[in-house]
Amino acid sequence: MNIKAIKATPFGPVVLVWADLEESPKVFRVLLSRPEASAFDLAEEFYSEARPGSCREIDIVAASIREFLAGQDVSFSLDIAAFETCPSFQQAVLRAEHAIPRGRVSTYGLIAAHLGDRNAARAVGNALATNPFPLIVPCHRAVRSGGDLGGFQGGPAMKRALLEREGIAFDEAGRVVVPLFHYS
């Protein structure tokens, strides 16, 4: 395993954990800094055997993440993510989440219904809570049915800031204000 540190972002460091898989680099984890731990600390704790390294493809992903966090409209290809490390249900959730366009949000329940099981909202939330590829799969675009933010690996302040950068408005109670949820 290798790590690629992205040091200068508005949200603190981000670390990509990656490896060559069948002659192609794949991202296994995107570690976000959060209020209680930096991405560097998380990388050291969970991937202490990983060594600094990069290649052209990973450099492109790192630059795109930096641009994304600066508020630019960036879409990531899922080809760079090691999806085969995720269970099939999580893969389906992550693909549905990845399909939500910039400036739109959906709910855990609507994603579950889109996947064919209206009762799987909690399972969708759990799949997103353990999303190994935050930002590549923009899981900040899923919220609770009442418009409350729900969880996010980078913390609620980062989730709200990312949504605001995409043009999502919030009411005085901190709930998203959208005319229509994606997958409605």
- Whether 70 and 13 share a structural domain: yes
**CB contact at 8 A, 52 and 2:** yes
pLDDT above 90 (res 22):
no
- Whether 164 and 136 share a structural domain: yes
> Does 116 fall in a domain?
yes
- pLDDT for 84-102, tens place per residue? 999 999 999 999 999 999 9
- pLDDT for 170-182, tens place per residue? 999 999 999 999 9
Domain boundary residue, one of 50, 80, 110: 80
Task: Supply φ then ψ for residue 130, to 5 degrees.
Answer: -110, 20
How many domains is the chain built from? 2
Is 139 designated active site? yes
Residue with tokens 């005085």: 172
> Does 182 fall in a domain?
no
Rounded mean pLDDT of 60-65?
A: 97
- pLDDT for 116-165, tens place per residue? 999 999 999 999 999 999 999 999 999 999 999 999 999 999 999 999 99
Of residues 43, 139, 149, 176, which has the active-site annotation? Answer: 139
pLDDT above 80 (res 40):
yes
For the entire predicted model, the pTM comes to: 0.95
The answer to whether the Cα torsion of 26, 108, 141, 126 is positive or negative is negative
- Whether 91 and 166 share a structural domain: yes
Structural domain range at position 103: 87-170
User: Rounded to whole angstroms, how far apart are CA atoms 23 and 77?
Assistant: 18
CATH of the domain at 156: 1.10.10.10
